[in-house]
Structure 1
Amino acid sequence: MASWNSVPLEVIYQVFGWLTFISWGISCYPQVILNFRRKSVVGLNFDYEILNTIKHWSYLIYNASLFFSPVIQKQYFDKYGYQQMIPVAANDVAFSTHSVVMNLVVLFQLAIYERGNQKFTKYAISIVAIVCLIYSICFFIALPSHSWLWLISIFNSIQVCMTIIKYFPQAFMNFLRKSTDGFSIGGVLLDFSGGVFNYSQMAVQSIDQGSWVNFYGNMGKVLISLVTIVYDSILMLQHYVLYPEKKGVTCSKNYKEIKQPLISESPIPIDQQIKDSVPAQEV
């Protein structure tokens, strides 16, 4: 296994890695907090969340397997050379684990908070079913020859596919509603930053090693960075340019006051209600 040639670059690599973890890790919280404060998930696309959950499960399996398994690491070195470095860092495993937990929290919020008429579409459910079927088939294909590196590469490829398609339902719903209300822009900004830091981390490793093997050896990490940057740019464009929040339009603090009729339903005649509601003039 190769070692670092430059200590400063190794430090920068670690800094970028943990900045990625912090940015992507806390990017989940603005949406969770927004849902909690509103006691509603209206505006948050359900398909986005279920596809995002599948994505992070796949990424966790890939990262944890390559980082912890000596067998898979040996298969990686046999394929790419023992002079190369494992393209998965501790921050990748930490991020994946944290993201899976936070996505489960959001799914729980979808179940308990006001959702309006939103639900999972048949397209998202079909995609999840197909992905699970692919996982099962690939596992039994890899089992006889113990092709574990190939198997986790499938997981990595699927998480890239999930990254590519997961943003579309949310962006499309924003387009239909002409609004980003209910979808936290704070999470998007942090997600964008994480994509930049993640790509920068891989670039630093390549510069130190004088090789781009870690890029095509872990195309999943490269692609999720680029796809994240592109889609987050679209979501930021929607929020700040296309559908900016209207100033001066605020919601009532008490929703019940909005629903309460101007004239209460009572046996008292309407004329008498109106008369009683007008303050008496001082003599």
Structure 2
Amino acid sequence: MTSAWNSFHLEVLSNVLGWTAFFAWSISFYPQVILNFRRKSVVGLNFDFVVLNLTKHSSYLIYNASVFFSSAVQRQYHEKYGFKEMIPVAANDVAFSIHAVLITAFTLFQIAIYERGNQKVSKISYAIVFVAWFAAAVCCLVALPSHSWLWLVSCFNTLQVTMTVIKYIPQAVMNFRRKSTIGFSIGNILLDLVGGLTNYGQMSVQSIDQNSWVNFYGNIGKTLLSLVSIFFDLVFIFQHYVLYPAKKTDSSSPHFTPESKVEPLVKPSDVDSLQSENV
């Protein structure tokens, strides 16, 4: 069981911040899904980003569910960090992970059915996913004889942190090469930023209440998740609003690229003037 809060007001604030992060992160998936649906295209959305994101959220779900529901994992956590310390996973963390896996899988389904141009999942991404789950399987074999369940779930936590660091890179590079963020929803990024900030705030409130910062280094995955997500969100925001600001006519075409914006050889006004002269 988790230890009691010292301050009722801080407990309420923590719950508000936690569920705000949950809703912001959960809703953040939908702008991209809606954009894909409206355009009937996934051109501009990097497929490696989605594939790596699915691995990230799957491993994060395993970690959150294990820590939140397993009494064995909780016992080993208290033995390592102290019985007065809170379990660093809340109900909103588990709920978010379940939702994230499902909606990311649905985004992959959209990739399969919508126009995608010449985009495809890279071999490097396939290799990363294979190595990640192979490493997870090895960790399971190592932990099984000694029943090191806390160490095992920490491996999944480390895996999700690694995927968080890696997953943003393909999309950022793709935006740079295209000199455009068209097809990649900025709404996703703005909501993700809100989720990262409020998630970090919740952890801070818990630490203040307990007068201990073990909540940060005891759940280093959640800490790094917030910091890395915030950093890349700021990179994408800078790309979208500063480096490659979208034109008003850009978002209407699923196949638009900056190179496609070319003046026609004959303007409609020229055709109208020629027709009037022949009358």
Normalised to the residue count of structure 2, the TM-score between the two structures is: 0.90
Aligned length: 262
Gaps of 5+ in 1: 256-273
Q: How does 1:115-264 map to 2 (within 5 A)?
A: 115-247=116-248, 251=252
Amino acid at match of 2:205: V
Aligned: 1:39 with 2:43: no
Corresponding residue of 1:264: none
Corresponding residue of 1:69: 70
Identity of aligned residues (%): 61
Instruction: Kindly state the Cα deviation for residue 44 of structure 1 after the two structures are TM-superposed.
Output: 0.2
Which string of whole-angstrom CA distances, capped at 9 and with x for unpartnered residues, describes residues 216-266 of structure 1? Answer: 11000000000000000000000000000124557479x9xxxxxxxxxxx
In the alignment, the residues of structure 1 paired with residue 201 and residue 224 of structure 2 have an alpha-carbon distance, to the nearest angstrom, of: 13
Corresponding residue of 2:79: 78
In the alignment, the residues of structure 2 paired with residue 252 and residue 122 of structure 1 have an alpha-carbon distance, to the nearest angstrom, of: 29
In the alignment, the residues of structure 2 paired with residue 189 and residue 171 of structure 1 have an alpha-carbon distance, to the nearest angstrom, of: 15
Amino acid at match of 1:112: I
- Structure 1 pair 129–249 and aligned structure 2 pair: CA distance change class (3 A): closer
Instruction: Kindly state the Cα deviation for residue 132 of structure 1 after the two structures are TM-superposed.
Output: 1.1
Amino acid at match of 1:217: G
Instruction: Kindly state the Cα deviation for residue 88 of structure 1 after the two structures are TM-superposed.
Output: 0.4
- Structure 1 pair 108–250 and aligned structure 2 pair: CA distance change class (3 A): closer
Corresponding residue of 1:102: 103
- SS in structure 2 at match of 1:246: coil
- SS in structure 2 at match of 1:59: helix
Normalised to the residue count of structure 1, the TM-score between the two structures is: 0.89
In the alignment, the residues of structure 2 paired with residue 118 and residue 249 of structure 1 have an alpha-carbon distance, to the nearest angstrom, of: 19
Corresponding residue of 1:3: 4
Instruction: Kindly state the Cα deviation for residue 2 of structure 1 after the two structures are TM-superposed.
Output: 2.1
- Root-mean-square deviation over aligned CA pairs: 2.0
In the alignment, the residues of structure 1 paired with residue 166 and residue 70 of structure 2 have an alpha-carbon distance, to the nearest angstrom, of: 30
Gaps of 5+ in 2: 257-270
In the alignment, the residues of structure 2 paired with residue 23 and residue 195 of structure 1 have an alpha-carbon distance, to the nearest angstrom, of: 9
Which string of whole-angstrom CA distances, capped at 9 and with x for unpartnered residues, describes residues 101-136 of structure 1? Answer: 000100000100000000010110000000111011
In the alignment, the residues of structure 1 paired with residue 84 and residue 128 of structure 2 have an alpha-carbon distance, to the nearest angstrom, of: 39
Is the contact made by 2:182 and 2:250 (CA closer than 8 Å) also made in structure 1?
A: no
Which string of whole-angstrom CA distances, capped at 9 and with x for unpartnered residues, describes residues 201-222 of structure 1? Answer: 0000000000001111100000
- SS in structure 1 at match of 2:51: helix
Instruction: Show structure 1 runs of 4+ deviating over 6 A.
Output: 279-282
Corresponding residue of 2:27: 26
